[in-house]
Structures are given as structure tokens and as C-alpha cells.
Amino acid sequence: LGDDARAARIPRYVRINTSCWTTEEAIPTFVARGFELADPFASESSFARDEHIPDLLAFNPRTQFVDDLLYKEGKIILQDKASCFPAFVLSPDDKSMVIDATAAPGNKTSHLSALMGNKGKLFAFERDRKRFSTLKTMLSKAHCRNVEAVNVDFLTTSPTDERFSQVTHILLDPSCSGSGIVNRLDHLLETEDENDAEQDRLNKLATFQLLMIRHAMKFPSIQRIVYSTCSVHAIENEHVVRKALATDECSKGGFQLADPAMVLPGWKRRGLADEMGNAAEAQSLVRCSPDEDATNGFFVCLFVRVEPEDENKL
């Protein structure tokens, strides 16, 4: 299938920004415009509630919202379904202290902020200056009032800094190959030489991704860390998680993979058991396939701190 054909099989996902609107208000608004609740592929004017992510609607792929006032006002966020998984799995509440370590352009930050009811405290880190400026614009457009955006490299932030001593949740969605994004899959057509270069790039990304997870595990009050990528490569996904579980931060600091029941239990596609080397652990991981799940390719993992009574399991 060509890229356009693959993209045409992904609905236009619209996340209702509950910081300033509700799905109960949104549905009649769309119905009044002539949309009808039905399978999003039934017609160009049909839309449906997503079955896995609350406040996510799926429209026909041909529906355009970029010029829509609702989008300009920040009432709707145009965000792929799979990209809504990380904040939903992290599930902070209105009392949580959260770091979004790699935040720009900010779709997951505004999702976290909405899940927190715009309360608690959310630090949004972004190291790139230009992307940081986009992040600030997006956060203000999305009515985020509990977010402090900081133009900083997460790896240079100190886990012993007093400002972060109470942080309970970290979302890590670091730079990756982007191989799950359907319209970027053309790298699969590269020649052998280019594949060598690609392998080298993936190795470097994986080293960086592991470093980011290990750093997150050093923050003293962390209870939950979500690691996600929009890559379909095991080297950036299962292999990084496997290596993280083998580090001192994990075994001595006491992190383990969350029980599968905590990680989108209704979602069938789980981690690759062969790549993980452990079928039970692979069940804790979530994958999305760009060809089979009507989403972009994606990977999500939730690390949780081992409670003292669980320590003998380590």
C-alpha cells in the first residue's frame, strides 16, 4: 500500500480539550453541523466516540479541522489516537506533580494537563529553542494553567533539585526514528548502504532513549514513568525496555513493568515477546500497528516503582 492509501485508513482523530470543553457539548455541536454518529468510514460526515480513549472522537479521514474555529480556540486538539495513549496510561490526577520530559510541540502535555483537571503541577521540558517556542504557543492555545514550560535539556536537570523532589509521574516521549508515522515509512525503500547508516542512527537513538529512562528513574518520589515512541523498531522499543530493566536504577531503585491490567487492558496488540525475551513482560507493553490498528505505529510502556512489600520479588 502507498502512503496515501495507508493514511486514508486512519480516521481523523479529534481530542476534546476538557480544559475548556466537554464531549457532551461537542457531540451535539457536530451533529448540529450535519455530522452523524456512525462508523467514521461510513460517509464523509460520520463520526464516532473512540472505544479506548475517553474524550476522543474519530471522523472520516477526509474531514479537515485546521481552519476550524474550534481548533483555533483550543477546544479540539488534532492528535492521533496512539499518541493519546501515553498520557492516558500515565493517568496523573489533580494532586500529582508531573514532568513531561520531552514536551514539544505539546499535544501530550495538554492532554496531561486536561487529565489533571488543570490542577497539580506539570513541568514541560523542551531542549530545542525553536520547538520550545511552539510548545509555549500550543500550551497557551490549549488553556493550560498548571504547566511551567522550561527550555532545558532533561538530562541536565538534577533529580536532587528541590523543585522536583515531589514529582510523582514522568512522561518520556523522546526523539525516535518516527518509523511508525505512515507518511514517513519511505525509509523502508532505502538501499543497503543507507540501511547501514539507518542501523547506526537507530543504535544512537536507542542509547539516548535508555539514558533518558535511567535519568527519570533517579528522581526520588517517582511512582510512574511512561516511555513511548512512534517507532515500529524493536531496537527503540522492547530492547530499550529490556536494557532499562537490567540497570541498577531499575533493580536497586526498584522499578518494574506495570501489571498489564494497568496498561490499556482492552487493547489487544501487546509487545513482541521474542524481542522482549519474556512473554509475560511483553504483555505489559502496548504496540500499535500502522497497517492494522487504524492509528500510526506506536509503542507504550509503563514502569512503576516497586512497593516495599513487593521488594522480595526483585
Q: Does the footprint of ligand SAM cover residue 245 (CB under 6 A)?
A: no
301 flagged as catalytic: no
Peptide bond into 105 cis (omega under 30): yes
Integer CA distances (angstroms), 63 to 72, 88, 203, 222, 225, in order:
16, 25, 38, 40, 35
Q: Does the footprint of ligand SAM cover residue 172 (CB under 6 A)?
A: no
Q: What residues have CB less than 8 Å from 192, skipping those under 6 apart?
A: none
Residue of 84, 144, 176, 230 marked catalytic: 230
Element (H, E) at 256: strand 255-257
Stretch of 25-33, 61-69, 102-110, 268-276 lying at the interface with ligand SAM (CB under 6 A): 102-110
Which of 104, 114, 226, 232: binder of ligand SAM (CB under 6 A)?
A: 104
* Rounded Cα distance, 104 and 212, in Å: 16
Pairing relationship of beta strands 147-150 and 121-125 according to DSSP bridges: parallel
Which of 128, 198, 249, 275: binder of ligand SAM (CB under 6 A)?
A: 128
Stretch of 88-96, 147-155, 236-244, 272-280 lying at the interface with ligand SAM (CB under 6 A): 147-155
What single-letter amino acid sits at 45? Answer: S
Q: Does the footprint of ligand SAM cover residue 13 (CB under 6 A)?
A: no
Q: Which is nearer to ligand SAM, 75 or 215 (CB)?
A: 215
The answer to whether the CB of 54 falls within 8 A of the CB of 81 is no
Q: Which is nearer to ligand SAM, 128 or 256 (CB)?
A: 128
Output the smallest distance, CB 257 to ligand SAM, in A: 21
Q: Does the footprint of ligand SAM cover residue 175 (CB under 6 A)?
A: yes
* Rounded Cα distance, 116 and 133, in Å: 23
Compute the chain's Rg from CA coordinates: 19
Q: Does the footprint of ligand SAM cover residue 126 (CB under 6 A)?
A: yes
Catalytic site residues? Answer: 230
- Note the residues at the interface with ligand SAM (CB under 6 A): 83, 102-108, 125-128, 131, 153-155, 173-175
